[in-house]
Structure 1
Amino acid sequence: MGGGNRWLRPEVYPLFAATGVAVGICAFQLIRNISGNPEVRVKKDNRAAGVLENFAEGERYSQHALRRFVRDRAPEIMPKLNSFFSDPK
Structure 2
Amino acid sequence: MGRWMKPDVYPLVAAMSFVTGMCLFQLTRNALLNPDVRINKAHRRRAVLENQEEGEKYAEHSLRKFLRTRPPEVMPSLNRFFSDHK
TM-score, normalised by the number of residues in structure 1: 0.86
State which structure, 1 or 2, has the greater radius of gyration over its C-alpha atoms: 1
Shift of 1:25: 0.4
Change (3 A) 1:45 1:53: closer
Residue 53 (structure 1) shift: 2.9
Shift of 1:87: 2.6
List alignment gaps of at least 5 residues for structure 2.
none
In the alignment of these two chains, the number of paired residues is 84
Runs of 4+ residues deviating >2 angstroms: none
Cα deviation for residue 62 of structure 1 reads 0.8
For structure 1, list consecutive stretches of 5 or more residues without a partner in the other structure: 1-5
The alpha-carbon deviation at position 50 of structure 1 amounts to 1.7
The TM-score normalised by the length of structure 2 is 0.89
Name the structure where helix makes up a greater proportion of residues: 2
Aligned Cα RMSD in Å? Answer: 1.2
